[in-house]
């Protein structure tokens, strides 16, 4: 049983939550997030909070998950989410071309990734900042960018998250 899901989720001032036809919608200003919730977990919005309760035997598995989704939706419309990626390596760089992120990572061609709707991407020198209201789409796009050239263990060249520690290998020794 989820201990966090038992607690009601408080709605901050200015945040509005609506649950209709199995879809939970959280709004604040122009930011709107929606998520479909299976009927095995019931959702009630009362007294400025969201209360989730399980309906049957398989519900506890999703009960805590839906509670975490609700918390992430509220955090997304109030503060937003941000991932910072650092590009390290000689000649490696990134630039914005309209609605695409072009990465020059030592391949014979630049790798272009379409920026999903609702995300904001900033490129300053070798730092790519991805921000948006939906935690899932911010994290997935950051993972897709990192996947283009993961950091290698010998020199550490590639794309890494800010603060990520790369375990270095020693390399060949001269005898």
The token pair that represents 53 in the structure block: 């309760």
CA distance 110 to 14: 43
Number of domains the chain is built from = 2
Task: Give the CATH number of the domain where residue 71 resides.
Answer: 3.90.930.12
What is the reported pLDDT for 1?
57
84-100 tens-digit pLDDT: 999 999 999 999 999 99
Q: Verify that 92 and 54 share a domain, yes or no.
A: no
Beta-carbon count within 10 A of 41 CB: 22
* pLDDT score of 45: 94
Q: Whole-structure pTM over 0.85, yes or no? A: yes
State the residue range of the domain holding 152.
81-161
Asked if 119 contacts 138 with a C-beta cutoff of 8 angstroms, the reply is: yes
Residues 130 and 89 in one domain: yes
Mark whether 35 and 91 lie in a shared domain: no
Q: Is the same domain home to 26 and 53?
A: yes
Dist. CA 87–CA 7, nearest whole Å: 41
Q: What is the pLDDT of residue 121?
A: 97
Same domain, 156 and 94: yes
Regions in the chain scoring below 50 on pLDDT: none
Separation CA 115–CA 137 (nearest Å): 10
> Tens of pLDDT along 116-150?
999 999 999 999 999 999 999 999 999 999 999 99
What kind and span of H or E run contains 61? helix 59-78
Domain boundary among 55, 78, 101: 78
């Amino acid at each position: 049983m989820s201990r966090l899901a038992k607690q009601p989720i408080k709605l901050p001032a200015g945040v509005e939550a609506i649950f209709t036809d199995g879809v939970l919608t959280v709004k604040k200003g122009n930011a709107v997030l929606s998520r479909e919730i299976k009927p095995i977990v019931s959702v009630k919005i009362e007294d400025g909070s969201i209360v989730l309760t399980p309906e049957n035997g398989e519900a506890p598995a999703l009960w805590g998950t839906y509670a975490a989704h609700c918390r992430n939706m509220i955090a997304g419309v109030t503060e937003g989410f941000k991932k910072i990626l650092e590009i390290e390596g000689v000649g490696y760089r990134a630039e914005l071309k309209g609605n695409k992120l072009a990465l020059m990572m030592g391949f014979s061609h630049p790798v272009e990734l379409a920026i999903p709707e609702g995300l904001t991407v900033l490129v300053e020198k070798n730092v790519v900042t991805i921000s948006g209201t939906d935690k899932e789409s911010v994290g997935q796009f950051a993972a897709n960018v990192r996947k283009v050239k993961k950091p290698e263990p010998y020199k550490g060249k590639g794309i890494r998250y800010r603060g990520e520690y790369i375990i270095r290998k020693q390399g060949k020794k001269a005898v």
